[in-house]
């Protein structure tokens, strides 16, 4: 068995609003990513995907607060660590994060090389020349032209900016890279370049494992080894990619898979299954299954008692009261 790079046990984090309300956006989430593996996190807007990404870094700033659970990166426990220490010794080296609007993260008044100098000097002393050589080497490996280093962000296209941000994020060869919707603002061609780059990072060993967050399932299918579906702050399904896409168990996962559109024959004939309604307000989550209000297979008992994540072997788990056979049978008729 290969080494576990990231292990998260029952992580819970909450937002405290200015009215002192607690919103548990990540609710008892456990996950494991092994060396050389990638995990995809899917779900619609507002289901806690991005909050999970922020929480995994172990660096919390208000209104996000840590509540319970543990995060272990390569044997080192980072939950509950001093925030300053996390910033100095964990972020960038152990775990790196590419935010959703990464392309806007670049300061418009600074050249790209300056960001790189900033990042490296924060962690180790180095001369300008050394940093430049190192950056040049990295940029060449990931297929970015050397001239990018001397440019201002405005001189780069959206796709280039995104790839530059990714390159900066992996400067210190982090063990885990969290990519939060890195392609959602890009067109399909730039998207493909970004995906290719992320896959190369894995191949070249610049990162050891990857967490990829998106709502585009065809992307996850092509990038990750496992898929985790989140809904209202909880994991509702965990499975290998192939199984999650072609044989989803949870009704919500099934609905998500039904919204896939690809330019292949037969797509026009099959109807898209949109999931009606909106996710529940997490200020006051429903006491039973959180998906009950939108589920077409809902039973009275779904609404009263909470549903536990059910392990079914082979690393697969789902959160529903029905057994696998019942669910598969129900989907067959639909």
Partner 1 sequence: MPDEKSNICLSASGLTKVFGSGRTKTVAVDHVDISLCEGEVVSIVGESGSGKTTLAKMLLGLLSPTEGEVYFQGKPRDISSHKKRKEYWKNIQAIFQDPFSSYNIFHKIDSVLLDCINMRGGRHLPYEEKVEMMTEACSFVNLKFDELTNKYPFELSGGQMQRLMIARIFLLDPKILVADEPTSMIDACSRATILDMLMQLRDDIGMTVIFITHDIGLAYYVSDNVYIMEQGVFVESGSADDVILHPKEPYTQRLISDVPKIYEEWDLSTV
Binding site for partner 1 (CB under 8 A): 44-46, 157-158, 187-193, 195-196, 199, 215-219, 221-222, 245, 255-256, 258-265, 267-268, 272-276, 278
Residue 277 half-sphere exposure toward CB, CA atoms < 13 A:
12
Residue 293, judged by CB atoms within 10 A of its CB (0-12, 13-18, 19+), counts as: middle
The residue among 200, 192, 202, 227 whose CA lies nearest residue 212 is 227
Residue 36 vs 46, nearer CB to partner 1: 46
Residue 75 vs 266, nearer CB to partner 1: 266
Least separation in angstroms between CB 180 and partner 1: 13
The residue among 232, 237, 197 whose CA lies nearest residue 217 is 237
Residue 36 vs 258, nearer CB to partner 1: 258
- CA distances (Å), 20 to each of 8, 11, 249, 274, 308, in order? 27, 21, 37, 35, 28
The residue among 175, 262, 177 whose CA lies nearest residue 217 is 262
Helices (H), the chain: 49-56, 83-85, 112-123, 128-141, 158-169, 188-203, 217-223, 241-246, 251-257, 324-333
Question: Contact, 201 vs 234, CB < 8 A?
Answer: no
Least separation in angstroms between CB 45 and partner 1: 5
Residue 196 vs 328, nearer CB to partner 1: 196
Residue 261 vs 308, nearer CB to partner 1: 261
Least separation in angstroms between CB 273 and partner 1: 7
Separation of alpha carbons 260 and 219, rounded Å: 10
Least separation in angstroms between CB 85 and partner 1: 36
Least separation in angstroms between CB 207 and partner 1: 17
Least separation in angstroms between CB 209 and partner 1: 19
How many CB atoms lie under 10 A from the CB of residue 331?
16
Residue 207 vs 217, nearer CB to partner 1: 217
Least separation in angstroms between CB 189 and partner 1: 5
Residue 171 vs 194, nearer CB to partner 1: 194
Q: Is the peptide bond before 264 cis (omega within 30 degrees of 0)?
A: no
Residue 90 vs 223, nearer CB to partner 1: 223
Least separation in angstroms between CB 276 and partner 1: 7
Question: Contact, 322 vs 308, CB < 8 A?
Answer: no
């Amino acid at each position: 068995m290969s080494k576990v790079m990231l292990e998260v046990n029952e992580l819970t984090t909450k937002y405290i609003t200015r009215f002192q309300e607690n919103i548990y956006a990540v609710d008892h989430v456990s996950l494991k990513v092994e060396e050389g593996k990638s995990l995809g996190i899917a779900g619609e807007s507002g289901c806690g995907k991005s909050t999970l990404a922020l929480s995994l870094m172990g660096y919390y700033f208000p209104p996000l607060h840590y509540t319970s659970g543990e995060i272990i990166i390569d044997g080192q426990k980072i939950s509950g660590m001093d925030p300053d220490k996390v910033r100095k010794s964990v972020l960038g080296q152990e775990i790196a994060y590419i935010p959703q609007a990464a392309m806007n993260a670049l300061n418009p008044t600074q050249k790209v090389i300056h960001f790189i100098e900033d990042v490296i000097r924060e962690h180790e002393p180095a001369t300008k020349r050394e940093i430049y050589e190192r950056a040049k080497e990295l940029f060449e490996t990931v297929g970015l032209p050397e001239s990018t280093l001397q440019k201002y962000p405005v001189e780069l296209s959206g796709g280039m900016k995104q790839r530059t941000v990714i390159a900066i994020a992996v400067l210190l060869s982090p063990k885990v890279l969290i990519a939060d919707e890195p392609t959602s603002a890009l067109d399909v061609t730039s998207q493909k370049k970004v995906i290719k780059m992320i896959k190369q990072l894995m191949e070249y060993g610049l990162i050891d494992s990857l967490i990829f967050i998106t709502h585009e399932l065809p992307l996850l299918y092509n990038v990750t080894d496992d898929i985790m579906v989140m809904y209202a702050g909880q994991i509702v399904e965990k499975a290998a990619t192939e199984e999650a896409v072609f044989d989803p168990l949870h009704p919500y996962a099934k609905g998500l898979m039904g919204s896939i559109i690809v330019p292949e024959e037969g797509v026009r004939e099959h109807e898209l299954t949109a999931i009606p309604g909106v996710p529940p307000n997490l200020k006051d989550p429903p006491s039973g299954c959180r998906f009950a209000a939108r589920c077409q297979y809902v039973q009275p008992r779904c609404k009263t008692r909470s549903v536990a994540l059910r392990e079914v072997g082979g690393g697969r788990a789902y959160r529903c009261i029905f057994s696998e056979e019942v669910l598969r049978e129900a989907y067959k008729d639909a």
